[in-house]
Amino acid sequence: MSSLLQLLTVALLLCAGCCYAAPHCGDCGNTTVPYPLSTGSNCGDQSYKIRCDAGTLWFDTLNSTYTIESINPSSQRFVIRPASFAGNTCITTDFNSQGVQLNSSLPFNITSSNTIFFLNCSDSLLRSPLNCSSTSLCHTYINATSEAAACEQAPICCSFRAGGSTTSYSIRVRKEGCMAYRSFVNLDYSSPVSSWPASGVEIQWISPQEPVCDSQADCDEGSNSTCQADPSSSGLKRCFCVDGLSWDPISGSCVNNSTCQSDGGCNGSTNHTPLIAGLTVGLGVALIGAVVGTLFYKRQRRIKDAQERLAREREEILNANSGGKSSKIFTGKEMKRATNNFSQERLLGSGGYGEVYKGYLKDNTIIAVKCAKLGNTKSVDQVLNEVRILCQVNHRSLVRLLGCCVELEQPLMVYEYIPNGTLFDHLHGLHPGSRSELTWLRRLSIALQTADGLAYLHSSAVPPIYHRDVKSSNILLDEKLNAKVSDFGLSRLAETDLSHVSTCAQGTLGYLDPEYYRNYQLTDKSDVYSFGVVLLELLTSQKAIDFNRGPDDVNLAVYVYRKVDEEKLMDTIDPMIMEGASDRDLETIKALAFLALGCLEERRQNRPAMKEIVEEIDYIMSIAAAKAAEVKWVSDKAINVALKLPPLLLIWELSLVGVYYLPSALIRLFKVETRSFQIWSTSPQYYTDPTKSGQQAHMLLYRKASYIRAGTGNVRQNYVVYKIWVLSANYCIAATPQDLRYVTSIGKEDRKGGRNEKARATYVSHRQLFFGRTGISKMKALILVGGFGTRLRPLTLSVPKPLVDFANKPMILHQIEALKASGVTEVVLAINYQPEVMLNFLKEFEAKLGIEITCSQETEPLGTAGPLALARDKLIDGSAEPVFVLNSDVICEYPLKEMIDFHKAHGGEASIMVTKVDEPSKYGVVVMEESTGKVEKFVEKPKLFVGNKINAGIYLLNPSVIESIELRPTSIEKEVFPKIATEQKLFAMVLPGFWMDIGQPKDYITGLRLYLDSLRKKSSSKLATGFHIVGNVLVDESAVIGEGCLIGPDVAIGPGCVVESGVRLTRCTVMRGVRIKKHSCISSSIIGWHSTIGQWARVENMTILGEDVHVRDEIYSNGGVVLPHKEIKSSILKPEIVM
């Protein structure tokens, strides 16, 4: 058989004829050099030069040279190794030569298979088409590999998929404003970084033309090609193949156009034609039979292997879901039966991700079957991995995925069936009687449920899932009009190689994030933008895109923004919810509208996160749903007597400024809790005193904080006392009232003028209700200042850490102002470093704020509890008022009034503020009852996970707690709090809003961002505005800003600063008296007092300049820490301390 095959081979080769082949170059080491690549002057094509040196192939660019790692002749591509990182830096070694630059006149280009990361970049890239978001693949790479460990400190990195242009010639690092790059070929974005291939840049060569010649002698000896003029290039000759042969650019040879003629043979002999023909036919039949048999066997084997593999994959999915609700793997037969073979009568709808069919299972369960249009770019393995993730999602506001089917041509997802149509149908009258059911409260409920579902996908799903197509037609409503989000996660299954221009698979016009057009990346904030449009639909009942609105108002977001600019926002609201709306309804409608506009901010970093949106809508809904509580008396062990009154109009505007106390009499807090008014009592002696019969309940209305003179009944200027509630004079309040006839409402009485007119509670922003004579307590606070603040050097070399500026005023002043606003009259500083500096500095603010500031100095370290014992005499005066204790490093919104209310209510000995964090092992962890706040366990820096609520460093302690602390080095976290928790007298209140412990410079930068975000929500008028401002920026009114500057986000510029023209500032603090000269760039840094930054200087990567530091022109600082009073004359290329 083998001899016959050899004879057949000979015959076939004879038919092939002799063909011309251009000279190939020899191997270089173990690597074959295919045509047309040339390693010498006598082989290959000279336009395709590479180098062979000591067994290694090299590729020369315009400005550098790179080793060739591999060559693929069939695809005409090779991969070069990119430049390495310089030692312990985020700078690639070809930074000075600006990366990979190819000669555009040569037949090489960079392919579209490269995924390129630009690292250590400038802020200018934030406005580029690159994806520079914190969720970009570039950050995933940095966080998961030691190769780029130094890049963790670099503020900006961007990812980019090469665009596929055949004229893409460069990866220019410096041109892009970056200092390093990485490139990966054919990267699978879904795979973990640990399984990524080695980095490389893929280069493609263009198919070569025939070889250049000067004469026939330069062509072949067999006359298969002739040296002729090239018609496409003047004066150039090439070896063109003769008739019957054609040029093959891959092999670099002339090959036959057709097989040999049957009547002549290739060698001119006819004597053996019959024999050759017979042998050819016989052997051909045998060979064909063998080939067919082999192919049939292999096909059957592949089918069997595929079935076994599919069974294993299905088993993997079942195992993946064993921990949660079970998800079934349906067979193709079941799906065809359920949908009546995907009958058009069962078709519910179709969209960018595929058709949806209504189906019935054997047990009559109604299902919705989604047939995904995924294309062919993702393997079944990838699809199954995505379905596995979606099967684990379980939330009340998400349509539940019951299972999937992977047997048919395209994967099928099987969902629960939601029978009541979509939100779009209800809003636009496509569902019978639907619009009348959408009351204002129902619309708020739908918004809250939708936001809650999306927040779950963003924050609780592992890994996070971005919906990418949030719209009203993807929000389904059940029989009770509860919202359920559908189609979540299907974009994870969508074809990733499609052009991003297509919105079919990545979003819907009218809902699509405008930043998508700049960086071609959809993120969680893209979902926020789309949800903002849904909120506008709920408010207006208008479509996201509607050509009936006129050419300028086709887009709903644009239309509403125009109306806001015209101060006609309410004109856009659906008349159905405006009709009969109360004042409270109108306020909440406006609140939701402005929340929607916040979601539609053009820059995604200015948009709230979905978690924040949930909190906002929940708060708005609590206001809208508030009902007047019944007037009733409540009595229990913790609260001897409490009087609940119906809420007044606009109850959410109430705020409290103080806790009033009068010895031997009841002066208790009038508070707002669960939307009701309450008078709290813990002094039964007052009620049993018969001389107190007939006391009046006064409501104190005032416009600004001031002292009340104790015992005289007189009130200082700006106060007016109104008698709102009066207890009958003949009624003794020693017992709990059973009849409200004794509580009457009377008109307003002005103490000075004696006028009587009706009280208008709506126009008063602060209210206080108390019994008896007016008096004021001396509530006190202790701030734990501590020592040298070494972690924030060099700033703390000039002043104690609490006096370091934060958001344009000393850190400790934020706390003192909050304490003053909550009613504290005296602040004690526990300090062991420069107390005289602290007191002298704060003396000015002591007078301004009307608050006493004293000092308790430690001569030796006393821990976190010892300072309370040392300051005991200053804190306890016999009044029984609780004492605030604050850690001076903490920055937050300081809800101290609410904490007072919480402490008064639970009746325990101590209250602590807690906050949620991602890494609780670094802090003191609190395990508490969610309903009561009672602390079950207090564990300081646990090694095992016990919870994620940590001690936030803000306490409210009864005097008995302070009296029990011994004067010695003691830990409040390890000794005091665990003991009180064991006695069940320690309670915890969850801190609303942001929180940050300012320990190190990076915490300072993060804390500033959180503070400015909070300031935008609570007092946005304090932030700077203008065309030169990006995001949240705080600028002192005395600062001077030059022309052409770009400032933000997250920047604070202090008093007396001068910022000259063309300066770029981002994520930084510029302290008092700093001058920044023209065209400088500062990012992620802190510039100390009275420093100077020279022209064209660049300061970044957590550079910290102490007081009076002068940076010369054109200096670069990459993470330098510079001590005070220094002059920087040369660049700082890596993080270091400059002494």
Q: Identify the residue with better confidence: 141 or 1077.
A: 1077
Q: pLDDT tens for residues 445-472?
A: 999 999 999 998 888 777 788 888 889 9
Q: Identify the residue with better confidence: 751 or 1100.
A: 1100
Cα separation of 321 and 19, whole Å? 62
Amino acid at 419: P
Range of lowest pLDDT (130-139, 331-340, 732-741, 1025-1034): 732-741
Residues 1082-1107, mean pLDDT to the nearest whole number:
92
pLDDT band at 1103 (very low <50, low <70, confident <90, very high): very high
Element (H, E) at 447: helix 440-459
Q: How far apart are the first and last CA of the chain?
A: 87
| Centroid of chain to Cα 92 | 28
- Residue 752 structure tokens: 């000075």
Question: Rg of the chain's alpha carbons, rounded to an integer?
Answer: 38
Query: Which residue matches tokens 């500033």?
Result: 1008
Amino acid at 576: M
279 is a domain residue: no
Count other Cβ atoms within 10 Å, centred on residue 862: 19
Element (H, E) at 275: helix 273-320
Cα separation of 216 and 205, whole Å? 27
Helix, strand, coil shares of the chain, percent, nearest 5, are 30, 25, 45
* Structure confidence at residue 313 (pLDDT): 56
In the predicted structure, residue 321 carries a pLDDT above the cut 50: no
In the predicted structure, residue 31 carries a pLDDT above the cut 90: no
Asked if 906 and 970 touch (Cβ cutoff 8 Å), the reply is: no
Whichever domain contains 309, its CATH number is 3.30.200.20
* 767 and 836 within one domain: no
Residues 497-521, mean pLDDT to the nearest whole number:
60
In the predicted structure, residue 138 carries a pLDDT above the cut 50: yes
pLDDT band at 314 (very low <50, low <70, confident <90, very high): low
pLDDT band at 713 (very low <50, low <70, confident <90, very high): very low
Cα separation of 820 and 524, whole Å? 39
Q: For residue 1114, which of 1098, 1133, 1091, 1134 has the smallest C-alpha distance?
A: 1098
Domain final position from 749, 771, 793: 771
* Structure confidence at residue 718 (pLDDT): 30
In the predicted structure, residue 423 carries a pLDDT above the cut 50: yes
Task: Kindly state the percentage of the chain with pLDDT values over 70.
Answer: 71
* 475 and 386 within one domain: no
Range of lowest pLDDT (118-122, 278-282, 479-483, 670-674): 670-674
| Centroid of chain to Cα 872 | 45
Tell me: cis bond preceding 959? Omega within 30 of 0 counts.
no
Range of lowest pLDDT (2-16, 553-567, 890-904, 1086-1100): 2-16
Element (H, E) at 16: helix 2-16
How do beta strands 852-857 and 824-831 pair? Answer: parallel
Q: How many CA atoms lie within 13 A of 879 on its CB side?
A: 19
Count other Cβ atoms within 10 Å, centred on residue 804: 22
489 is a domain residue: yes
* 1097 and 1014 within one domain: yes
Cα separation of 432 and 137, whole Å? 46
Q: pLDDT tens for residues 634-660?
A: 222 222 223 333 333 332 233 322 222
Range of lowest pLDDT (127-136, 370-379, 530-539): 370-379
- Residue 1104 structure tokens: 């910290």
- Residue 7 structure tokens: 């004879």
pLDDT band at 631 (very low <50, low <70, confident <90, very high): very low
Cα separation of 505 and 468, whole Å? 9
Cα separation of 717 and 720, whole Å? 8
Asked if 1004 and 1022 touch (Cβ cutoff 8 Å), the reply is: no
Cα→Cα distances 618→444, 611, 929, Å: 9, 11, 22
* Structure confidence at residue 619 (pLDDT): 77
> pTM for this one?
0.40
1067 is a domain residue: yes
* 709 and 646 within one domain: yes
pLDDT band at 731 (very low <50, low <70, confident <90, very high): very low
In the predicted structure, residue 10 carries a pLDDT above the cut 70: no
Q: 94, 123, 220, 469: which one is catalytic?
A: 469
Q: Identify the residue with better confidence: 177 or 578.
A: 578
Query: Which residue matches tokens 């390093």?
Result: 180
176 is a domain residue: yes
Range of lowest pLDDT (358-362, 607-611, 686-690): 686-690
* 677 and 598 within one domain: no
What does pLDDT average to over the chain? 73
In the predicted structure, residue 760 carries a pLDDT above the cut 60: no
- Domain region containing 226: 1-21+212-259
pLDDT band at 715 (very low <50, low <70, confident <90, very high): very low
Residues whose CB falls within 8 Å of the CB of residue 616, separated by 6 or more in sequence, listed in order: 591, 595, 608
Whichever domain contains 828, its CATH number is 3.90.550.10
Cα separation of 435 and 540, whole Å? 12
805 is a domain residue: yes
Cα separation of 1086 and 1008, whole Å? 11
Largest separation between any pair of C-alpha atoms in the chain:
143
666 is a domain residue: yes
380 is a domain residue: yes
Cα separation of 898 and 915, whole Å? 15
In the predicted structure, residue 50 carries a pLDDT above the cut 50: yes
Task: Phi first, then psi: give them for residue 19, nearest 5 degrees.
Answer: -120, 150
Q: Identify the residue with better confidence: 734 or 1053.
A: 1053
Q: Verify whether residue 585 is a known catalytic residue.
A: no
Q: pLDDT tens for residues 1019-1051?
A: 888 999 988 898 999 999 999 999 989 998 999
Cα separation of 978 and 446, whole Å? 43
| Strand, helix or coil for residue 885 | strand
Domain final position from 981, 997, 1013: 997
pLDDT band at 626 (very low <50, low <70, confident <90, very high): low
* Structure confidence at residue 387 (pLDDT): 66
Residues 283-288, mean pLDDT to the nearest whole number:
74
* 581 and 705 within one domain: no
State the helix-helix crossing angle for 524-540 and 556-565, rounded to 10 degrees. 70
Residues whose CB falls within 8 Å of the CB of residue 941, separated by 6 or more in sequence, listed in order: 921, 922, 923, 924, 925
In the predicted structure, residue 661 carries a pLDDT above the cut 90: no
* 934 and 791 within one domain: yes
In the predicted structure, residue 347 carries a pLDDT above the cut 50: yes
Q: pLDDT tens for residues 782-818?
A: 998 865 545 677 887 777 788 888 999 888 899 998 9
* Structure confidence at residue 418 (pLDDT): 87
- Residue 684 structure tokens: 């039964």
* 956 and 1014 within one domain: no
Cα separation of 468 and 353, whole Å? 12
Count other Cβ atoms within 10 Å, centred on residue 880: 14
* Structure confidence at residue 449 (pLDDT): 93
Query: Which residue matches tokens 């072949």?
Result: 220
Q: For residue 89, which of 1116, 830, 1091 has the smallest C-alpha distance?
A: 1116
Count other Cβ atoms within 10 Å, centred on residue 543: 17
Residue numbering of the annotated binding site for ATP:
370
* 922 and 785 within one domain: yes
Domain final position from 354, 383, 417: 417
Residues 62-69, mean pLDDT to the nearest whole number:
84
450 is a domain residue: yes
Whichever domain contains 1066, its CATH number is 2.160.10.10
What are 248's strand-pairing partners?
Answer: 253
Cα separation of 335 and 278, whole Å? 56
Q: For residue 521, which of 159, 187, 123, 127 has the smallest C-alpha distance?
A: 159
* 892 and 825 within one domain: yes
Count other Cβ atoms within 10 Å, centred on residue 1022: 13
Query: Which residue matches tokens 């301004």?
Result: 848
Count other Cβ atoms within 10 Å, centred on residue 776: 19
- Residue 551 structure tokens: 């050419």
Whichever domain contains 589, its CATH number is 1.10.510.10
- In the DSSP assignment, the letter for residue 972 is I
| Centroid of chain to Cα 747 | 53
Q: pLDDT tens for residues 967-1021?
A: 888 888 888 888 898 888 999 998 888 888 887 888 899 999 999 999 988 888 8
Count: domains in the chain: 7
* 786 and 731 within one domain: no
Range of lowest pLDDT (749-758, 778-787, 862-871, 885-894): 749-758
In the predicted structure, residue 1070 carries a pLDDT above the cut 90: yes
* Structure confidence at residue 466 (pLDDT): 83
Task: Kindly state the percentage of the chain with pLDDT values over 90.
Answer: 14
Residues whose CB falls within 8 Å of the CB of residue 700, separated by 6 or more in sequence, listed in order: 715, 719, 721, 722, 767, 768, 769, 770, 774
* 981 and 1015 within one domain: no
Asked if 724 and 645 touch (Cβ cutoff 8 Å), the reply is: no
Q: Identify the residue with better confidence: 538 or 905.
A: 538
